[in-house]
Amino acid sequence: MTQLAIEVGALAKVFGGLAAVDGVSLSVPAGERRVLIGPNGAGKTTLFHCITGTLKPTRGSVRLFGRDVTRDPEHRRTALGMGRTFQITNVFPDLTLLENMTLAIVGTDRRKWVMHRAVAAFADVRRQALEGLEAVGLAGRAAQPVKLVSYGERRQLELALALNTRPKVLFLDEPCAGLSPSERQRISKMIAGLPRDITLVMIEHDMDVALGLADRVTVLHQGRVILEGTPDEVRANAEVREVYFGHG
Amino acid sequence: MDRGRLALSLIALAAALALPFVAGPFWTGLATQMYIFGLLALSVDLLLGHAGLFSLTHASFFAVSAYTVAILQVRYAVPTTLAAPAGILAGTLLAAVFGISVRTRGVYFILITIALGYVVWGVAHRWSSFTGGDNGVTNVPFPAIGGVGITSHTQYYYLVLAVILLCALGYRVLIRSPFGLGLRGIKASETRMQSLGYRTSAHLYAAFVLSGALASLAGVLYVYYNRFVNPVASSFPISVEAALMAIVGGSGTIIGPFLGAGVVLGLRNWVSSFFEMHHAIMGAVFIATVLWAPDGLVGIAARLRARFSRPKEPGP
Amino acid sequence: MLTSAILQAINGVSLAALLFLLASGFTLSFGLMRVVNMAHGAYYLLGGYIGLSVAQKTGSFALAIVAGGAAIAVLGYFIDHFLIRRTGENHLAQVLLTVGVAFVLGDVALAIWGGDNLMVPAPKFLKGSVVLPGDVYYPMYRLVMIFFGVFVGVVLWLLYKKTQIGAVVRAGVDDREQVNATGINVDLLFVMVSALASFLAGMAGVVGGAFLTLYPGAEWEILVYALVVVIVGGLGSLGGAMIGALVVGLLDAYGRWLLPEFSYFVLFGPIALLMLFRPRGLFGKEH
Ligand SMILES: Nc1ncnc2c1ncn2[C@@H]1O[C@H](COP(=O)(O)OP(=O)(O)OP(=O)(O)O)[C@@H](O)[C@H]1O
Ligand SMILES: [Mg+2]
């Protein structure tokens, strides 16, 4: 039996009176690629926030490789191997792409505390940052401030940041949202080419991308899991068609 | 550093070195004050311009350090070599306590730092048996290191100049370091920094204490220049003027806070020679800065340079 | 000893009543309009001075209160409309701008009323002392001050909880978008709330000027107390302002009595504890 990378137990998040996530349990074995689907407002992003520590869940627990991280702050979880992207691009607009990457690279080691040496003196960080940008096709943009690059390029940077925190489990919140078809293809190809030892949990609206990439799919609706299965099972399920595609 | 800026820096340095010879004691004194308050403004700007925290309690560290030096030197005849470090230590320790305010953000941070600043002012003002009350502590001697003592304001000018140059160099390394970059990251997006593995509160706390240490150093320079200290040094106007200096000059830069200190102090000196209401003038500078020059002098200079160095780009 | 302790409690509550007048306006303007107005202390001082002049001319304390409040409401409107509004929701800019306004107002007040401690003359029937149970003499004015504070508190509370406008304001404090959705004239609502806040500050100056006296610098001292009230209670919360005022008023009274040299230090306690356990105050919300 393989180890569980992520184990979510009866997790709930209530905003005011609204239960955005309403008792979700979820187990993702190490190395699996799991895609979360569900209509708008199903609670997918909120579930991500609670797992990665951006939000405190109202109830329930989160385990990472067997370790209870429910009470751990977000930066601890990142240090333990969670990486994530945001649905709404969350990068550093005034900094250059290279600086953005530098922040991601030194964020998970002690070098982030270095005060007496300029960033430029860390040749290996710079090399890794450029490689990271190269991987998402942004090497030519390294010296530009983020606010001057296109939306699609920012989405790619968003992904590159998450990839460079040494994640063991990667949470991607609609990485392709708002991209042009060609960019979309490039990104999904890149995600498909990620090393298999990285556990992947991804939210995706595009059914072709989602079902093509996933080992298993979890369907969320109104804060609850309504189905979990292989892409084929999900495709065949009538209830999913009902809630997800509008009608059967 | 490009050649233009290098040349400009060298000219500025030469001017600073020559100042006591070409200008009289009045200007030398004003420049000394500009360096001291510029350093205080720079300390405020480490938080404001880099980490995005608007502290209004920096006069506390400045004053606690100044009081410590004054009391040690005057009442206990402690030599400068011990009194000055003790002053910096005292101010920094206070910053380590007040640093818990980094648990808050935004408006709460601003309001809490104002309130904390008043605690220090209240103690300076009311605990008269120790602080000398409104009269403060007077007759602080010039500093003396080993057997070598400063004997004139001109000599002291050069000492202050040397200290602030060292500080500026150190500050430059700090803001370019991974730690300094981290602060700018937090200013831009704290949530993202947390998800990248940063314990942002710890980063901000460290920045707060460092910034308090720098303000304390400014306090030491101040008390030896002024030769006395009273509760005014710890008052709210000092804190808020330090922030104003940073903004007037250009927040987020090194030269900006010093330029801003020059503008504010120069203006106040000039205005108070013919007009009594100098608080009102300061108030007008606050209002004008917010409404018309939020990026300060450095921002204005950058905009002008951009306009003149490159022809207008064709429309999109 | 016990009687002193009781006296200090009454002192504390009467200061709380005054602080509530000032803090309620501050907290409401933040709650609804997200405006941090550091000129509130200057409004207090200027309102007090205007009331003083009116009281000296007319001999009417009631008129002084109304005049002090009304003059500041008008002044506040202009400052809001021509200056503060231009800062948008940039709190840093608001703070700097309104500190600047406070400096200007403080100097203008100094030029007109001078630098001495001045006391607003309280009406005859409020002078002298009352004998409380246990043969304790207590100044009548400060006792009435408590009732006045409670009265204003109740009026504000009713306005806030029971009227249509109050409902809109409450909705706006919770969620700004909602105000736009109600179809009410938002600009008018903002003007009204900001006028009310300024009025309360000006009125507080007259009321406070009759027992704390007015002098240059008083604007900052009182503002800091009001800020601590707001920090303790939580920005934007009227109930929080009441509780916060009581906490600060009582701490200040006992602090002055027991640790006169460190009374400001006593204020540090609640702030520090709050920062450790409730960074947004007792009733503060996420903003
Ligand atoms: N901070 C918040 N406060 C209040 N309600 C919220 C908050 N965040 C999300 N919600 C609500 O919770 C529900 C779930 O939102 P969530 O963003 O998790 O959905 P989602 O599945 O990611 O949707 P989408 O596909 O549109 O991204 C929605 O009804 C949303 O309005
Ligand atoms: Mg979502």
For B175-209, how does the pLDDT look when each residue is reduced to its tens digit (9 = 90+)? Answer: 999 999 999 999 999 999 999 999 999 999 999 99
The whole-number pLDDT of residue C182 equals: 67
The whole-number pLDDT of residue A223 equals: 92
The whole-number pLDDT of residue B126 equals: 85
Ligand 1, atom nearest to A39 Cα: 25
- For residue C3, what are the CA distances in angstroms to C128, C129, C252? 19, 16, 17
3-state secondary structure of C130: strand
pLDDT band at B1 (very low <50, low <70, confident <90, very high): low
CB contact under 8 A, C101 and B283: yes
The preferred substitution site among A46, A176, A207 for testing ligand 1, maximizing ligand atoms within 8 Å of CB, is A46
Q: Which of A135, A164, A193 is the last residue of a domain?
A: A164
Option in C96, C111, C268 nearest B286 (CB): C96
Count how many domains chain B has: 1
Option in A54, A99, A102 nearest B195 (CB): A54
Average pLDDT of span A27-39: 93
A212 plus A106 within the same structural domain = no
CB contact under 8 A, A103 and B173: no
Question: pLDDT averaged over chain B?
Answer: 91
Q: Which of A149, A164, A179 is the last residue of a domain?
A: A164
Highest mean pLDDT of the ranges A120-134, A182-196, B274-288? A120-134
Give C259's DSSP letter: -
The whole-number pLDDT of residue B203 equals: 96
B254: in domain:
no
A5 plus A59 within the same structural domain = yes
Contacts of A119 in chain B (CB under 8 A): 176-178, 181
The whole-number pLDDT of residue C118 equals: 92
3-state secondary structure of C131: strand
A127 plus A15 within the same structural domain = no
pLDDT in tens, A182-197: 888 888 888 998 999 9
CB contact under 8 A, A115 and B179: yes
Contacts of A118 in chain B (CB under 8 A): 173, 176-177
For ligand 1, whether the C-beta of A21 sits within 6 Å is no
A179 plus A229 within the same structural domain = yes
Contacts of B292 in chain C (CB under 8 A): none
Chains that touch B (3 or more CB pairs under 8 A): A, C
B266: in domain:
no
Residue A155 Cα, ligand 1 centroid: separation in angstroms? 20
Contacts (Cβ under 8 Å, ≥6 apart) of B295: B250, B251, B302, B303
The whole-number pLDDT of residue C108 equals: 94
Q: Which of A120, A149, A164 is the last residue of a domain?
A: A164
Q: Determine the structural domain holding residue B211 and report its residue range.
A: 19-235
Count how many domains chain A has: 2
CB contact under 8 A, C224 and B118: yes
Give C120's DSSP letter: P
Count how many domains chain C has: 1
Ligand 1, atom nearest to A174 Cα: 27
The whole-number pLDDT of residue A241 equals: 72
CB contact under 8 A, A103 and B194: no
Nearest to B275 by CA among A106, A32, C107, C181: C107
CB contact under 8 A, C110 and B118: no
DSSP codes of every residue in chain B = --HHHHHHHHHHHHHHHHHHHHS-HHHHHHHHHHHHHHHHHHHHHIIIIII------HHHHHHHHHHHHHHHHHHH---HHHHHHHHHHHHHHHHHHHGGGGGS-HHHHHHHHHHHHHHHHHHHHH-HHHH-GGG-B--PPPPEETTEE--SHHHHHHHHHHHHHHHHHHHHHHHHSHHHHHHHHHHH-HHHHHHTT--HHHHHHHHHHHHHHHHHHHHHHHHHHHS-B-GGGGSHHHHHHHHHHHHHH-TTSSHHHHHHHHHHHHHHHHHHTT-S-HHHHHHHHHHHHHHH-TTHHHHHHHHHHHHHHSPPPPP-
CA–CA distance, C155 with B202 (Å, rounded to integer): 45
- Claim: this prediction has a pTM higher than 0.90: yes
The whole-number pLDDT of residue A105 equals: 96
B120: in domain:
yes
CB contact under 8 A, A117 and B191: no
Contacts (Cβ under 8 Å, ≥6 apart) of B116: B57, B60, B98, B101, C268, C271
The whole-number pLDDT of residue C188 equals: 80
The whole-number pLDDT of residue C179 equals: 67
pLDDT in tens, B67-88: 999 999 999 999 999 999 999 9
A84 DSSP β-pair partners:
A171
Average pLDDT of span B117-127: 89
Is this complex scored with an ipTM above 0.95? no
Residues C156 and C197: beta-carbon distance below 8 Å: no
A115 plus A71 within the same structural domain = no
DSSP codes of every residue in C108-119 = HHHHHH-SS-B-
B262: in domain:
no
pLDDT band at A248 (very low <50, low <70, confident <90, very high): very low
Q: Above 70 in pLDDT, residue A247? A: no
Ligand 1, atom nearest to A220 Cα: 21
B251: in domain:
no
pLDDT in tens, B229-263: 999 999 999 999 999 999 999 999 999 999 999 99
Nearest to B168 by CA among B253, B55, B62, B56: B253
A183 plus A232 within the same structural domain = yes
Q: Above 50 in pLDDT, residue A129? A: yes
pLDDT band at A240 (very low <50, low <70, confident <90, very high): confident
Ligand 1, atom nearest to A48 Cα: 18
B52 contacts chain C (CB < 8 A): no
Residue closest by Cα to atom 8 of ligand 1: A46
HSE toward the beta carbon, residue C208, CA cutoff 13 A: 31
Residues with CB under 5 A from ligand 2 (ion): A 45, 87
Residues above pLDDT 90, as percent of chain B: 70
**Among residues 103-142 of chain C, which lie with CB inside 8 Å of chain B?**
103-108, 110-111
3-state secondary structure of C136: strand
CA–CA distance, C230 with C185 (Å, rounded to integer): 28
The whole-number pLDDT of residue B311 equals: 52
The whole-number pLDDT of residue A3 equals: 87
A165 contacts chain B (CB < 8 A): yes
For ligand 1, whether the C-beta of A178 sits within 6 Å is no
Option in C83, C111, C264 nearest B119 (CB): C264
Q: Determine the structural domain holding residue A122 and report its residue range.
A: 90-164
Q: Above 90 in pLDDT, residue A80? A: yes
pLDDT band at A246 (very low <50, low <70, confident <90, very high): low
B182: in domain:
yes
Option in B103, B107, B276 nearest C91 (CB): B107
C286: in domain:
no
The whole-number pLDDT of residue A48 equals: 95
- For residue B288, what are the CA distances in angstroms to B89, B285, B292, C75, C96? 37, 5, 6, 19, 10
A215 plus A160 within the same structural domain = no
A220 plus A171 within the same structural domain = yes
Q: What is the CATH number of the domain that holds A171?
A: 3.40.50.300
Residue A21 Cα, ligand 2 centroid: separation in angstroms? 12
Strand pairing report for A169-173 and A199-203: parallel
pLDDT in tens, A41-53: 999 999 999 999 9
Residue B16 Cα, ligand 2 centroid: separation in angstroms? 58
pLDDT band at A244 (very low <50, low <70, confident <90, very high): low
Question: pLDDT averaged over chain A?
Answer: 90
Contacts of A75 in chain B (CB under 8 A): 194-195, 197-200
Mutating which of C107, C251, C263 best tests the B interface, going by the most B Cβ atoms within 10 A? C107
3-state secondary structure of C34: coil
Sign of the Cα torsion B136, B140, B145, B151 reads positive
B180 contacts chain A (CB < 8 A): yes
Q: At what angle do helices C40-58 and C61-82 cross, to 10 degrees?
A: 140
DSSP codes of every residue in C212-258 = T-B-TTHHHHHHHHHHHHHHHH-TT-HHHHHHHHHHHHHHHHHHHHH
The preferred substitution site among A45, A207, A220 for testing ligand 1, maximizing ligand atoms within 8 Å of CB, is A45
CB contact under 8 A, B110 and C95: yes
pLDDT in tens, B216-237: 999 999 999 999 999 999 999 9
Name the closest residue on chain B to residue A111, using Cα atoms.
B178
Q: What is the CATH number of the domain that holds C271?
A: 1.10.3470
CA–CA distance, A99 with C36 (Å, rounded to integer): 34
Output the tens digit of pLDDT for each of chain C's 287 residues. Answer: 677 888 888 889 999 999 999 999 898 888 888 888 999 999 999 999 999 999 999 989 999 999 999 999 999 999 998 898 888 888 889 999 999 999 999 999 999 998 899 998 888 878 878 877 777 778 888 888 889 989 999 998 888 888 877 787 777 777 766 666 667 777 788 888 889 999 999 999 999 999 889 999 899 999 999 998 988 888 888 888 999 999 999 998 888 888 877 777 777 777 777 777 777 777 776 54
B29: in domain:
yes
Option in B56, B123, B285 nearest C264 (CB): B123
Q: Above 50 in pLDDT, residue B316? A: no
Contacts of B114 in chain C (CB under 8 A): 224, 227
The whole-number pLDDT of residue A1 equals: 54
**Among residues 74-113 of chain B, which lie with CB inside 8 Å of chain C?**
100-101, 103-104, 106-108, 110-112
Nearest to B42 by CA among B185, B163, B150: B163
Ligand 1, atom nearest to A46 Cα: 18
Q: Which ligand is nearest to the Cα of residue A38, counting in written order?
A: 1
Q: Determine the structural domain holding residue C16 and report its residue range.
A: 2-277
A223 plus A238 within the same structural domain = yes
C82: in domain:
yes
